[in-house]
A = this chain, B = another copy of it.
Amino acid sequence: MKKIDIFKKLRSSGLRPTKQRVEIAKFLFEREKTFHFTVESLNKLLTKKSASKIALATIYNTVHAFKTAGHLSEVEVRGNKTYFDTNVSNHHHFYDSDTSELIDIDANDIIIQKIPKAPNGKKIKNVEVFINLKN
């Protein structure tokens, strides 16, 4: 994803391409593979990488803005911190609790044969499979 695309991505979401947002967006979206992170880990990586430091509140604001805009998804992981994911398509995860690392599983790599029907007037929004790993 090029710089111009980052600008488009932000503008099309109604987000002004500020210095901070562009820097965070470049860091998050200009990469080949999915990136899973917490606000804390993102903050550390950004501090290490860049010259100018971005306030923690701005990182929270920006991550939430990106999530609301559909550029990030939230992954549920046991523990206190919230995990985010640059992969916003329907997919699943391996989770290695030793390293606290998430690994993507393509939606097509898991086939569910039998599934119960949703209760009382409810519908199924989506199905998430979480595979816990051990050594």
Contacts and interface: CB of A to CB of B under 8 A. Distances in A.
A111 B110 contact: no
A73 to B, nearest CB: 11
A113 interface: yes
A124 B132 contact: yes
Interface residues of A, number: 33
Interface in A18-39: none
A122 B121 CA distance: 40
A51 interface: no
A103 interface: yes
A135 B116 contact: no
Interface stretch (A5-13, A41-49, A56-64, A74-82): A74-82
Given A76-B76, A128-B130, A123 B135 contact: yes
Interface of A: 74, 76-78, 94, 96, 103, 105, 109-116, 118-119, 121-135
A111 to B, nearest CB: 4
B103 A131 contact: no
A103 B127 CA distance: 14
Contact of A132 (B103, B126, B133): B126
Contact of A113 (B113, B119, B135): B113
A105 to B, nearest CB: 6
